[in-house]
Amino acid sequence: MEKYSAFTLFAHALKHHKNWQPVWRTPSPKKTYDVVIVGGGGHGLATAYYLAKNHSLKNVAVLEKGYLGGGNTARNTTIIRSNYLWDEAACLYEHSMKLWEGLSNELNYNVMFSQRGVLNLGHTLQCMRDIERRVNANRLNGIDSVVLSTKEVQKLVPALDCSSNRRYPILGASWQPRAGIARHDAVAWGYARAADALGVDIIQGCTVEGFMLENGAATGVKTREYGAINAARIGCVVAGNSSVLSSMAGFKLPIESHPLQASVSEPLKPVLDTVVMSNHVHAYISQSDKGELVIGAGIDGYNGYGQRGSYSTIEDTLRAIIEMFPSFSRVRMNRQWGGIVDTTPDACPVISETPVKNLFFNCGWGTGGFKATPGSGHVFSSMLSEGKASMLTKPFSLERFYTGALIDEHGAAGVAHS
Ligand code: FAD
Ligand code: PYC
């Protein structure tokens, strides 16, 4: 038998170990990073990866106050779709969908992207008209989207109660076959491992408490644990904490932070092999590979930064699920949790330069940013490398809140969260 040195075996184990941990790094106070990214969620880590991979910027640090992917990235219901109404949003989310389709290969890490399709149910004539409008718009943008009748919906999801005597009968649905779900922590870890391998410094337990500003330009960040860290450019990707960070730099963002909750049931045998969303009764559900029913709510109406929500919201959500799936009424719920999401007035993200030179924000994804993780990182890396917006990101600049060129995706995107 061939003999391997202890070093070779260790290096091999490190390379192929599923529970890879980034080397615990500390920033060098003397160094000026090309880019510092604040926020080690999926979007921040994806940005770092594409900066190093596509823009050859390896002198990059990601600063995360907690642990990687511990924010909304690990708390969401992982629904991935691109069936948005307006061209600007549809193109951005479709860009992301295409990246999802090659992501496990790209990262050499199984993100468990499962294209099992998504149904957005219609319960009234007006819902169906909105669905038809959105499906037509999607098709014009080359996005796979069809309208299904009640019968077709029932065939796809036998457990769904499609009888006409329900309080909210199902009149049909939009169906995007390429939509699906993925494993959220694998996405964060996959990007982290790949960015780390390209030389990015990933620094956990590092809280940004302020910015270093000179003549209207940012020159670095002030951190609680490591003091000042210098940077030529700074990208903030902190989701529900975005307005806290912008106020440190002296400007306001049109963003509100709200709790958003989800829960999972005990594991069941396979019973649901697609994603079902209902705007009208307001709940969404899929079944994870472990068998748990993954159920998500609408936002809690009040503002807050606590990663938890109120009991009544989650109770209403479970009521809505039972309305659609009466056979789930005896299923026991295992866990419930909340994240803190960043909503904008037009339910679209902000990917933008700011009034402070060299300081950029990527936020406002609200309840729908998990699906955007690869696309968001990809386009934000271009912005940070070039210092300006691209075709895809231009419509999402802060300027739209002054010019009024809003991209109103409220409800139209097939999920009504506010
Ligand atoms: P996060 O993962 O929140 O990362 C931001 C990071 O910044 C955090 O780790 C935080 O600790 C760090 N941070 C904050 N302040 C500082 C600081 N001062 N210094 C250093 N670090 C800091 N989207 C979908 O597309 N589909 C869904 O099905 C879906 N369901 C959802 C269900 C729930 C219950 C929730 C809460 C969200 C859901 N979303 C969904 C939205 C999605 O989760 C988010 O839009 C997305 O994960 C945001 O990713 P992010 O990397 O920007 O943010
Ligand atoms: O945007 O698809 C979505 C979504 C589902 C649940 C929360 N957001």
pLDDT (tens digit per residue) in 96-142: 999 999 999 999 999 999 999 999 999 999 999 999 999 999 999 99
State the pLDDT at residue 55: 98
Cα–ligand 1 centroid distance for 237 (angstroms): 9
For the Cβ of 118 lying below 6 angstroms from any atom of ligand 2, the answer is no
State the closest ligand 1 atom to the C-alpha of 223, by its place in the atom list counted from 1. Answer: 19
Å from CA of 80 to ligand 1 middle? 15
Higher pLDDT, 312 or 55: 55
The mean per-residue pLDDT over the stretch 164-174 comes to 95
Q: How far is the CA of 333 from the centre of ligand 2 (A)?
A: 20
Q: Is 368 touching ligand 2 by the criterion CB < 6 Å?
A: yes
Over 90: is that where the pLDDT of 150 sits?
Answer: yes
Q: Whose CA is nearest to atom 5 of ligand 1?
A: 238
Average pLDDT, the chain: 93
What digits encode the pLDDT tens for the residues 369-393?
A: 999 999 999 999 999 999 999 999 9
Mutation test of ligand 2: which of 367, 376, 410, 418 has the most ligand atoms closer than 8 Å to its C-beta? Answer: 367
Report residue 152 as tokens. 């077709």
Q: How far is the CA of 239 from the centre of ligand 1 (A)?
A: 5
Residues 335-349 have a mean pLDDT of 96
pLDDT grade for 2, boundaries at 50, 70 and 90: very low
Q: How far is the CA of 79 from the centre of ligand 2 (A)?
A: 6
pLDDT over 60 (residue 19): no
Q: What is the mean pLDDT of residues 345-355?
A: 97
Ligand 2 pocket member 43 (CB < 6 A): no
Residue 119 beta carbon below 6 angstroms from any ligand 2 atom: no
Ligand 1 centre distance from Cα of residue 360 (Å): 17
Average pLDDT over residues 219-240: 97
Whose Cα sits closest to atom 12 in ligand 1? Answer: 39
Average pLDDT over every residue of 296-313? 92
- Which band of pLDDT confidence, cut at 50, 70 and 90, is reported for residue 410? confident
Q: What percent of the chain has pLDDT over 70?
A: 92
Beta carbon of 65 within 6 Å of any ligand 1 atom: yes
Quick one: what percent of the chain has pLDDT higher than 90?
A: 88
311 or 415: which carries more pLDDT confidence? 311
| pLDDT at position 12 | 47
Whole-number Å distance, alpha carbon 77 to ligand 1 midpoint, is: 12
Higher pLDDT, 294 or 25: 294
Which atom in ligand 2 lies closest to the alpha carbon of residue 118?
2
In this prediction, residue 3 carries a pLDDT of 45
Half-sphere exposure of 193 (CA within 13 A, CB side): 21
Q: Which pTM was predicted?
A: 0.94
